[in-house]
Structures are given as structure tokens and as C-alpha cells.
Structure 1
Amino acid sequence: MRQDPNIHLDRCPHCSVAKPNLSQVCGAETRDSAQRNPRRWIGYSCRTCGGVLLTVARKTDGGWEDIYKIWPSSQVVDDSVPDRAKQFLNQAINSIHAPSGAVMLAASSVDAMLKEIGLSQGNLYSRIKLAAEGHLITNEMAEWAHEVRLDANDQRHADEDAGLPDETDAQRSIEFVMALAQFLFVLPSRVRSGRGK
């Protein structure tokens, strides 16, 4: 992808809106102290959320290469996460602009992960409790999982005493689910792969 006045991404890494309108707002060219390693940095702003992302490209004899790095990068769910849990988590990430839905989808992903590791009896509350008692997750992780569960319940049952979540609340739920996925599936998969080599 070239550093043009507008760049095209599938989703904004800040608000996850599909096909964001990303326009250049700033730029700079830099070199190291020995005048080597020329790079061009361009910042692009999302017209939906106002978030800015930074891109970098290197210069070669033929001109500027394509973008090789973007910050922040979009959240990506690892392929080692089981499909149902992964689908719920991807949908939560992609709907962060609709925080109530994102929170409920995050809780659904937690539920799918616990079912995947063999905890299919009872409800989500009991599955979280069993996961902690069986030392499949830490007590702190269980407490955070319960917070995600309760936040989702507030939205699912339209609890009038509970406030509506904002994007920060949704991001916190997604952050936990990403951490749980790392703990239950991604790290064990990497350990198996590393030991296999």
C-alpha cells in the first residue's frame, strides 16, 4: 500500500468502522544520525472517530517503497482460537462503535472458550467458577470474567439501573477476552509448536 493522500484499510484500528475514510493530516521525512535509513512518516486521520494512525515507508534508489508498518495495528484474533469463540470476538472488535453489542459479544466469546475447554454444564457463572476452581484460569482472571459477564447481563436484560457502556467499557471487555484467548489457546499452541521444532 502506497502512502497516498488517502489510504484504504478494511477497518479503522481505533473505531473498527468498515472502509474508513483515512486522510493525510501530517508527515515528516527522517534519517538516522549518520544520514542513513531515510524514512517517510505520514499520519492519517479517520473521518469517523478522529483517531490518527501513523505509517512509515523506506526510501530506495527507485523512490519510496510501500508502507511497511502501521500504528496502531488492527486487533487480530489468532488462528489457534477455536472458531466459534473467534467469531464472537471478531464481531465484538468490529462492533466496538456499538458498545452494548460489543460487550455482549465479548461475553459470548468467553462462554464459547470455556465450553471449548470442556466446561459445558450450567451457565456462564458456573463455568467461570469451575475454571478457577480447576486452576484453568487464575482467580483474578475469574473476577475479570465475572465483570464481563455482569456487564453483558446488564445490557442483555436492559437493566434500568445500569448505565450504557461506552467504547472504553467495550474495549476493556475485548481486552480481557483477548487475554483469555492468549492464556487458553494461543500460548499453549505456541508452546506445542516450539517444542515440536
Structure 2
Amino acid sequence: MALVKIDCPHCGIAHVAANIAWQEGNPSGKLFLARCGACHLPISGRAVNTAGYDTDFVKSVGDITHDYWQIRQTWPEIVSLSAPEHTPASVAKRFIEGEEAYQRGNWNAAVAMYRSALDIATKGMDGVPPRLTFYQRLQWLHEEHRITPEMRAWADHVRIDGNEALHEPDEFTEADAKPLRLFTETFLKYAFELPGEVSRYREQTEPPPPE
């Protein structure tokens, strides 16, 4: 069976082997339908031929791109993952790694990366005392009116702190990762994106200081 190596828009795995099940077109270009070898969800695409001869994708064996076919477009399109704007680079890196793991359904890795993003974010915020646990940092931020009471209370209902690993299951599920993902994204928006946008607005609207 013919296959194509593409980046799966569903599970996020790069260069995954997808089996081609359907084709339509001519020797110069074809539409095709394939199934991801990892998550088994369908991917459609458009391929062009630079060699000038036809190939029956369905009856071929191996990677069709080795026969001078080039994949020019796939559907659904891959959505670029990003962290909320103005998030520090070290925090954004962990959050995006969590998003990649979440997209693949790797819940253990997703939980670990979201926790790491929150840990680094709260440690790096101005004025936060050193050597505090994550929850102590949250309490300090709440007392200093840096986060809302709702966010402080929300944290108590989300499995954030990884210090008590002995009391946790070996495997996390989507039910663990989903609320943590939402809390992490909301926290980063409130802590970094909102202040950054306010600062940007002020820079654009306030008159320059007198010379």
C-alpha cells in the first residue's frame, strides 16, 4: 500500500506514515485521502508530479514522495501552537511543549509541561519571595492583588502541584490534563498578556515627554 510522510494535523506527529486509500487526478497532480498511521484520523491532500509520469497511489508500495511526487497542501491545515502574547520565552516554551503533548494525547507529558510553565511563571514574577512552594506563591500573589480571588480558588480544584507525586496515580488522563491546560492558559493571559497589552496601549496613546 502506498503511503506518504506528512505532519499530522490531528495528533501533531511530524513525518508520520499515512496510508493512502483514495486518489483522483492526472499524471501532473492528484488529490488523495490518507489515514494517519498513529491516530488513524483522515487527512486529505494535493500532490504534484515533477517526473511527468503517472502513479497509482492506491496500488503503489512505499512512500510516493520518493517517486518525484511533492505534497503541496493538506487538509485540515496544521494550526501553529503558541503561548499567550507577552509570555516570557522560557515559560512559553514549556506551555507549547504541553500543547504539543496534549494534541498527541500524551497526558503525562502535557501535565508535566503545564506544571513546569506555571512553576517558572510564578517564580519569575516581580517581587515573589524565593523558596516558596507553588501554592505559597499563589497565596502571595493573591494577597498582593496580582491575581484574582477566583483564580486562587480555581487553583485548589486543579491538579497543579507535582510535589506530592507519591500520592498521585502513575498515569494521567484527559480529565486531569484538560482543566490544568485551561487554568495554565488563563493564568498566562492574566499575568502576562493583559499587562503587556495595557503597556502597549499606553505607549501608543500617551504623548511623549516634553523635551
* Same structural fold, with TM-score higher than 0.5 when normalized by the shorter chain: yes
Q: Sequence identity, in percent?
A: 22
Structure 2 CA distance for aligned equivalents of residues 126 and 19 of structure 1: 43
For residues 31-180 of structure 1, what are the structure 2 equivalents within 5 Å?
Answer: 46-51=36-41, 73-78=79-84, 80-96=86-102, 97-118=105-126, 119-121=128-130, 122-146=132-156, 147-150=158-161, 152-153=162-163, 157-159=165-167, 162=169, 164-180=171-187
The residue aligned with 1:29 is none
Considering only aligned residues, what root-mean-square deviation do their CA atoms show, in Å?
3.6
Structure 1 CA distance for aligned equivalents of residues 94 and 6 of structure 2: 25
Change in CA separation of 1:50 and 1:130 when aligned onto 2, cut-off 3 Å:
farther
* Structure 1, unpaired ranges of 5+: 27-41, 56-65
Change in CA separation of 1:189 and 1:70 when aligned onto 2, cut-off 3 Å:
farther
* Structure 2, unpaired ranges of 5+: 23-31, 46-71, 205-211
The residue aligned with 1:188 is 195
Larger Rg belongs to: 2
Structure 2 CA distance for aligned equivalents of residues 50 and 108 of structure 1: 30
Does the 8 A contact of 1:106 with 1:148 survive in 2?
no
Structure 2 CA distance for aligned equivalents of residues 143 and 44 of structure 1: 46
| TM norm structure 2 | 0.59
Task: Give the deviation of 1:124 after TM superposition.
Answer: 0.7
Change in CA separation of 1:136 and 1:163 when aligned onto 2, cut-off 3 Å:
same
| TM norm structure 1 | 0.63
The residue aligned with 1:62 is none
Does the 8 A contact of 1:8 with 1:21 survive in 2?
yes
